[in-house]
Amino acid sequence: MIHAFPCGTLALDFVGTLRARRNDEPTEKLASAADLDAWCVESGRLSAAPSSGAADVERAVELREAVYALIWARLHDQALPAGAVETVNRYAADAPLVPVLTDAGWSRVGGAGQVLSQLAREAVEIVGGDAAALLRECGRPECTQVYLDHSRGRRREWCSMATCGSRMKAAAYRARQRAGAGA
């Protein structure tokens, strides 16, 4: 698996495909059509790779950055950027994935564009609804994942306890140990 899904919602996990976006050299997880295909399958949106092309990757990055601009605006109590609103609405208006019933159960059928449409619709619901008040950015300085804080008291600090939370707690423990040894 090359992609991570720590945010609890696929639209926010999709935004996280540009890792450490404020670093000098962020890590791009959608660098190729194969990366986009892998995301579509690993996320569970499709059961088979959609055979994406370079244009699909460009569209995916355009949508991802528009969603991030909307989230950033919500996180900082600013007006939603008109260009980002237009972009997300345009993608949300595209055809969604089609659920199909088979003897083995059900699955979704479609291409990368239809996956992007589903993600845009989810982003519209998050940014435009009550969930916008739950948006948080990971407290680990190197991480820029955004998540919905459903914790009791809304005090969650990290995108994932398994990754960032564990690293931050380990670093705090080491700092306390060093401080205690120096005393």
Q: What is the pLDDT of residue 64?
A: 98
Tens of pLDDT, residue by residue over 141-175, are 777 788 888 677 666 666 655 566 556 566 555 66
Helices 82-92 and 112-128: angle between axes, nearest 10 degrees: 130
179 burial (CB, 10 Å; 0-12 / 13-18 / 19+) is exposed
Q: pLDDT band for position 38 (50/70/90)?
A: very high
- What average pLDDT does the segment 7-28 reach? 90
Q: How far apart are CA 131 and CA 125, in angstroms?
A: 8
Q: How far apart are CA 14 and CA 147, in angstroms?
A: 11
Instruction: State the number of CA atoms in the 13 A half-sphere of 154 facing the CB.
Output: 8
Q: How far apart are CA 162 and CA 147, in angstroms?
A: 14
Spell out the domain ranges in the chain: 10-135
Q: What is the pLDDT of residue 167?
A: 60
Chain centroid, CA 117 distance in Å: 14
Q: Which residues contact 163 (CB under 8 A, 6 or more apart)?
A: 4, 6, 143
Pick the more confident residue, 11 or 147.
11
What is the widest separation between alpha-carbon atoms in the chain?
68
Q: How many of the other CB atoms lie within 10 Å of CB of 10? A: 18
Tens of pLDDT, residue by residue over 82-117, are 999 999 999 999 999 999 998 989 989 999 999 999
Provide the mean pLDDT of the chain. 87
- CB burial string 89-116: b at 16+ within 10 A, e below: eebbeeeebeeeeeeeeeebebbbbbbb
Q: pLDDT band for position 20 (50/70/90)?
A: confident
